[in-house]
Amino acid sequence: MDLQLKMITNALFLLLVSSSATAQFGVFDISKYGAVPNGDITEALTNAWSDACASTTPSKVVIARGIYNLKQIEFKGPCMAPIEVQVDGTIKAPQDPNQLNGDAQWIKFTYINFLTLSGAGTFDGQGANAWTQNNCAKNKSCKKLSMNFGFGFLNNTIVRDITSKDSKYFHVNVLGCNNITFTNFNIVAPATSPNTDGIHIGRSTLVNIDNTNIATGDDCISLGDGSKQITVLNVTCGPGHGISVGSLGKYPNEKPVEDFFVSNCILNNTDNGVRIKTWPDTPATITVTGMHFEDIKMINVKNPIIIDQEYCPWNQCTKQNPSKIKISNVSFKNIIGTSGTKEGVVLICSSGVPCEDVMLTDIDLTFNGTSAAAKLSNVKPIIQGKSLPLLNSLLPIP
Instruction: Give the model confidence (pLDDT) of 348-394 as tens digits.
Output: 999 999 999 999 999 999 999 999 999 999 999 999 998 867 766 66
Q: Convert 356-386 to b/e letters by CB count within 10 Å (16 or more is b).
A: eebebbbbbbebeeebbbbbbbbbebebeeb
How large a percentage of the chain has pLDDT more than 90?
A: 82
Catalytic position from the list 171, 200, 241, 292: 241
Assign residue 168 the CATH number of its domain.
2.160.20.10
Does 289 map to a domain?
yes
Statement: residue 396 has pLDDT above 70: no
Identify the CA nearest to 273 among candidates 343, 170, 174, 192. Answer: 343
Statement: residue 12 has pLDDT above 90: no
Number of domains in the chain: 1
Active site residue 241: yes
For 211-228, the pLDDT digits (tens) are 999 999 999 999 999 999
Does 14 map to a domain?
no
**Using an 8 Å Cβ cutoff, are 56 and 33 in contact?**
no
Specify the pLDDT at position 320.
82
Does 47 map to a domain?
no
For residues 92 and 287, what is the distance between their CA atoms, to the nearest angstrom?
41
Specify the pLDDT at position 137.
62
Residue 56 burial (10 A CB sphere; 0-12, 13-18, 19+) = exposed
Q: Bridge partners of 112? A: none
Does 353 map to a domain?
yes
Does 45 map to a domain?
no
Does 270 map to a domain?
yes
Specify the pLDDT at position 133.
84
Q: Which domain range does residue 356 map to?
A: 92-105+114-127+146-395
